[in-house]
Each structure stands twice: as C-alpha cells, then as structure tokens.
C-alpha cells in the first residue's frame, strides 16, 4: 500500500499521499488539500514547498552533496568542460563526442549578434550596471528571433533557441564590457572553447593570448555555478515560463532574480565588503560583531544558505581554486587573507555555529574574478554565464512536463474586510 500522511482538520482525518524521490527524500502531496478541506498551506519563502518534480540536480544540504544528473560536482569540476556540463543538464546525459560537436556547432551558428542588438547595446551609458543591460538585451532578442516566440516550439527550434542564448549571452556580456571602456568589440571565436572565447572577447589585445590554465579556471567556475535546483532565479524562470512566456522573457526574468544581493549579487557584495574591511584596517572582527547585531541590517555576505547547513561543496572547490589561480597569476591580494581570516573567525563563532552558517559559492569567487581582471560590477554577470544552462534545463524540463501548470500560489488575506466606498469629497 502506498504511504500516506494523516492530517486531522475540523475533526476529520484526511490521507495525503507521500511522494518519495530517487534519493529517498519525502514530500507530502497537498495538491488536493484545498479542494477537499478548504485549507491551504502557508510557507513564506517556500522553505518547505516542493514546486515540482525534477530530474536535473540533486542536493543534500545536511551532507553537502551536489550532483548534476547524478554526477557529483567534484567529478564534473575535475574531469569535464563547461559545454559538456551544459549538454548534460539540458539533455540529461553526458554527450558522446559527435553529440558534443553537434551541440557546439549549433552555438557557433549564433556567433554574431544581430546588428539591431549591437545598436541597442551601444545606447547604454558606459556606467550602466551590466546586469540591467544584459537582462534588457536578452529580452530585446525577442524582437530579432520571432521564430522562437511561439509557445509550442518544435524540438528543433527549442534546441536552436537554447544554443542561441548560450552563444549570445557571453557575446553580449563581453561586447558591453569593451564598449563601456571605449574599446572596439572583438568577435567571438567559438572554436577556442566557451571560457577562452569569452576571455578573449573581453581582454583581446594584439599579440596576447589567453592562458589555457586561466581559461580552465574560469571553465571550472562556470561548471560550479551551472545549476542549483529550485533556487530563487530558477524558480523565477519556472514561474515565468509556466505562463508560456517566450524563452527570452523567461531567461531575462531569471537574470533579474539573480541580481539581488541575497542571491547571485552576493559575489559583488562580498568583494565590496572585503574592500570595506580593508579600508577599516583589516579588522574583520568588528564586521562579525555587526553581522551578529540584530539592530544592524548588515549581514556577512557570502555566508549562509537556505539549503546547505553543513558546508557548500562548491565553496570548498572554489577556495582551493582561488589559491591556485592567484599563485599562477602571481597575484598577492590582501583581500584573500582578509577573506580567510573572516571565514576562520566566523566558523569559530557561536552565532555562526548555532545557525549553521558557512561560506557559500560566492564567498571566494569574487577574488578569482578580480584576479582574472573582471570588474566588480560584472561578477554577477559571470554567474549568469554559468547558470544559463541550468535555467534552460529547468525551463525545458518544465515545458515538457505534462503535469506542469501555471504557477499561481495562494495567500492568506489579512487586510480590511468589506468597506463601503466614500467619495473623494467626503473623505
Ligand atoms: N550573516 C549574519 N547572519 C545571518 C546570515 C549572514 N550572512 N545569514 C543568515 N543569518 C542569520 C539570520 O539572521 C537568522 O538569524 P535568527 O535565527 O537569529 O533570526 C538565521 O541566520 C537564519 O537565516 P535566514 O535569513 O532565516 O536564512 P534564509 O535561508 O532565509 O536566507 C540567505 C539564506 C539569504 C542566503 C542568508 O543566509 C543571507 O542573507 N546570506 C548573505 C547573502 C548571501 O551570501 N547570499 C548568497 C547565497 S548563495 C546564492 O544564492 C548563490
């Protein structure tokens, strides 16, 4: 007999089906709750709400496990390339060589931006925040690829739209960086590989070549950011996509959700915090005290996570990569020492221990981006490049799920009861 949970309401007992995931995690299926009882559930921030069944990413926050399509993140970071991981997330399996070639060829066919898009990019002020620019330009792509606007895209069009976004988001990002610095844009050479092509477009100088190890380091960072199941931006993508909005509107919304400093924007906020600590003479203890003070809105950026309550496996890999890359580039960044000191202090502090607050993926990534020459206000756009395959995979899975419905949560209304209208002159 299938497992059920019993709920007693108004003296009546109802059985709710229990759903078991492939890693034995349990959920109570409340889909019929309101229809049968009139009750809804209240779960602000959706901390206990499963919004879908998904076969893309598994994470166990207590044990610090993260797997894409079953493969441990540590193994993927060690042995694969970002494009293989993108294929894996989107199509479900690691690609064979010919499948990967075909996938990359599709991206290559989108290696040039429509002229209308470069015209739009040219109009932004040089000091515009790159996240706002990228989000608007991704939305603007809808005007140039009308064939991808249909709500029921064919398999072929879906694959092409995905390839187009993967190829062009990195070009848009690098194009705006160069334009905002008065540099001529440099064209994409996809045969260099995703990370190297991006760095080449960003920092191209005659006679200079992007170092393979540096490109590899960026590739690993992109892999670590590629998906993270139903986080804020992925859920935004699913919510927007659930209305059958087009893929550009959907991804643009994901970018906007990522921008916030409680989510992907934390990588920029971490670096700004470390700079602030440096300005204050390196006294990180004072910042720990501020973070613990409930009358102060300051939080230790790059610390804490809704799901990880032990450690973030991505942070472990990134911390190691940080040492290697700074060493390789011969960069001696005092911010790295401040970050390590801050981490150590926080990990030994009762406040952080009691609340299971650990460094997350954003704590060390900014120091690496800075060493690579990426400006602070572009850190979150780097996250966009990494997370794009995850969003696309989540969108695809949702649109192909026969059980998917438009996202439409309920609420508990706590406002005024009926009042009679009073005209303006009598108020
Ligand atoms: N500094 C100080 N205290 C913190 C921090 C922090 N960074 N994070 C959580 N806390 C405290 C909270 O104040 C709360 O304390 P209380 O129990 O005394 O009220 C307790 O720890 C639990 O925290 P919540 O806010 O309930 O945790 P939630 O799951 O809602 O938020 C979040 C998670 C947003 C990541 C939070 O930890 C945070 O703001 N961290 C800093 C921003 C950050 O690094 N974001 C990136 C996350 S990773 C990503 O999105 C890519």
The reported pLDDT for the residue numbered 59 is 95
Tell me the per-residue pLDDT of 83-123, one tens digit each, with 9 for 90 and over.
999 999 999 999 999 999 999 999 999 999 999 999 999 99
Q: Is 19 buried (19+), middle (13-18) or exposed (0-12) by CB count in 10 A?
A: middle
Count CA atoms within 13 Å of residue 401 on its CB side.
20
Q: Is the dihedral of CA 78, 81, 87, 90 positive or negative?
A: positive
Mean pLDDT of the region 393-418: 97
Contacts of 74 (CB under 8 A, 6+ apart): 313, 317
The residue whose CB lies within 8 Å of the most ligand 1 atoms, and thus the one to mutate among 44, 268, 304, 308, is 304
Among residues 271, 381, 375, 361, the alpha carbon closest in space to that of 311 is found at: 361
CB 20 within 8 A of CB 392: no
Which tokens hold the place of 165? 């976004």
| Reported pTM | 0.95
Backbone φ, ψ for residue 407 (5° rounding) = -75, 125
The reported pLDDT for the residue numbered 238 is 98
Which tokens hold the place of 22? 């492939």
DSSP 8-state class, residue 218: H
**Count of beta carbons in the 10 Å neighbourhood of residue 231:** 23
Tokens 């390196």, located at residue: 282
CB 293 within 8 A of CB 341: no
Q: In what order do the strands lie in the sheet with 71-72?
A: 57-60, 65-68, 71-72
Contacts of 252 (CB under 8 A, 6+ apart): 135, 136, 138, 139
The rounded Å distance from CA 93 to ligand 1 centre is 34
The DSSP secondary structure of 253-312, one letter per residue, reads HHHHHHHSTTTTTHHHHHHHHHHHHHHTTT-HHHHHHHHH-TTS----TTB--SS-SS--
Q: Specify the CATH number for 4-65; select among 2.20.28, 3.30.200, 2.70.70, 3.30.70.
A: 2.20.28
Share of residues in the chain with pLDDT > 90 (%): 89
Tell me the per-residue pLDDT of 289-315, one tens digit each, with 9 for 90 and over.
999 999 999 999 999 999 998 889 999
Quote the crossing angle between the two packed helices 212-225 and 194-203, to the nearest 10°: 120
The reported pLDDT for the residue numbered 310 is 85
The reported pLDDT for the residue numbered 336 is 87
- Residues 187 and 174: their CA atoms lie apart, in Å, by 9
Tell me the per-residue pLDDT of 303-350, one tens digit each, with 9 for 90 and over.
999 999 888 999 999 988 888 888 888 888 899 889 989 999 999 999
- Is the predicted pLDDT of residue 169 greater than 90, yes or no? yes
Tell me the per-residue pLDDT of 174-205, one tens digit each, with 9 for 90 and over.
999 999 999 999 999 999 999 999 999 999 99
CB 251 within 8 A of CB 258: no
Per-residue pLDDT band at 1 (split at 50, 70, 90): low
CA 247 distance to own-chain centroid? 16
Q: Is the dihedral of CA 88, 91, 93, 97 positive or negative?
A: negative
CB 216 within 8 A of CB 81: no
290 CB near ligand 1 (under 6 Å): no
Which tokens hold the place of 172? 């848009």
362 CB near ligand 1 (under 6 Å): yes
Among protein residues, the one whose CA lies closest to atom 44 of ligand 1:
302
The rounded Å distance from CA 356 to ligand 1 centre is 10
The reported pLDDT for the residue numbered 365 is 92
Which tokens hold the place of 86? 């993108």
Tell me the per-residue pLDDT of 45-92, one tens digit each, with 9 for 90 and over.
999 999 999 999 999 999 999 999 999 999 999 999 999 999 999 999
The rounded Å distance from CA 319 to ligand 1 centre is 20
Q: Is the dihedral of CA 180, 181, 183, 188 positive or negative?
A: negative
- Rg of the chain taking only CA atoms, in angstroms: 23
Which tokens hold the place of 181? 């610095």
Tell me the per-residue pLDDT of 249-291, one tens digit each, with 9 for 90 and over.
999 999 999 999 999 999 999 999 999 999 999 888 999 999 9
Among protein residues, the one whose CA lies closest to atom 29 of ligand 1:
306
Contacts of 193 (CB under 8 A, 6+ apart): 81, 83, 215, 219
- Percent composition of the chain: helix, strand, coil (DSSP 3-state, to 5): 55, 5, 40
Residues labelled as active-site residues: 305, 362
357 CB near ligand 1 (under 6 Å): yes
**Count of beta carbons in the 10 Å neighbourhood of residue 185:** 18
Q: Which atom of ligand 1 is nearest to the CA of 383?
A: 51
**Count of beta carbons in the 10 Å neighbourhood of residue 80:** 19
The reported pLDDT for the residue numbered 322 is 86
Tell me the per-residue pLDDT of 134-147, one tens digit each, with 9 for 90 and over.
999 999 999 999 99
CB 290 within 8 A of CB 298: yes
């Amino acid at each position: 007999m299938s497992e059920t949970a019993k709920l007693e309401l108004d003296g009546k007992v109802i059985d709710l089906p229990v759903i078991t995931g492939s890693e034995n995690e349990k959920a109570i299926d409340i889909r019929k709750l309101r229809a049968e009882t009139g009750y809804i559930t209240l779960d602000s921030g959706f901390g206990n709400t499963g919004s879908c069944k998904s076969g893309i990413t598994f994470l166990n926050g207590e044990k610090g496990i993260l797997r894409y399509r079953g493969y441990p993140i540590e193994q993927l970071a060690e042995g694969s390339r970002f494009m293989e991981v993108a294929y894996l997330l989107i199509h479900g399996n690691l690609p064979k060589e010919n499948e990967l070639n075909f996938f990359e060829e599709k991206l290559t066919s989108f290696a040039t931006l429509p002229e209308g898009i470069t015209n739009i990019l040219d109009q932004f002020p040089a000091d515009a925040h790159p996240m706002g620019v990228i989000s608007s330009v991704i939305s603007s792509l809808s005007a140039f690829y009308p064939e991808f606007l249909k709500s029921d895209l064919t398999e072929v069009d879906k694959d092409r739209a995905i390839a187009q976004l993967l190829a062009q988001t990195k070009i848009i990002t690098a194009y705006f960086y160069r334009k905002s610095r008065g540099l001529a844009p440099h064209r994409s050479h996809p045969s260099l590989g995703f990370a190297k092509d991006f760095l080449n477009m960003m920092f191209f100088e005659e006679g200079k070549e992007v170092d393979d190890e540096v490109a590899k380091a960026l590739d690993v960072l992109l892999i670590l950011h590629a998906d993270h199941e139903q986080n804020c931006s992925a859920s935004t993508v699913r919510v927007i996509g659930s209305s059958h909005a087009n893929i550009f509107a959907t991804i643009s919304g994901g970018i906007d959700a990522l921008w916030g400093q409680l989510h992907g924007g934390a990588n920029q906020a971490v670096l700004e915090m470390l700079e602030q600590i440096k300005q204050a003479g390196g006294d990180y203890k004072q910042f720990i005290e501020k973070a613990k003070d409930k009358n102060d809105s300051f939080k230790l950026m790059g610390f804490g996570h809704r799901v990880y309550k032990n450690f973030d496996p991505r942070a472990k890999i990134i911390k190691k990569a940080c040492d290697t890359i700074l060493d390789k580039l011969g960069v001696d960044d005092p911010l790295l020492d401040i970050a390590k000191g801050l981490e150590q202090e926080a990990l030994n502090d009762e406040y952080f221990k009691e609340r299971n607050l650990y460094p997350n993926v954003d704590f060390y990534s900014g120091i690496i981006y800075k060493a690579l020459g990426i400006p602070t206000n572009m850190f979150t756009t780097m996250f966009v490049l990494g997370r794009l395959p995850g969003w696309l995979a989540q969108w695809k899975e949702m649109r192909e799920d026969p059980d998917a419905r438009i996202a439409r949560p309920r609420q508990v209304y706590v406002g005024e009861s009926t009042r009679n209208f009073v005209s303006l002159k009598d108020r």
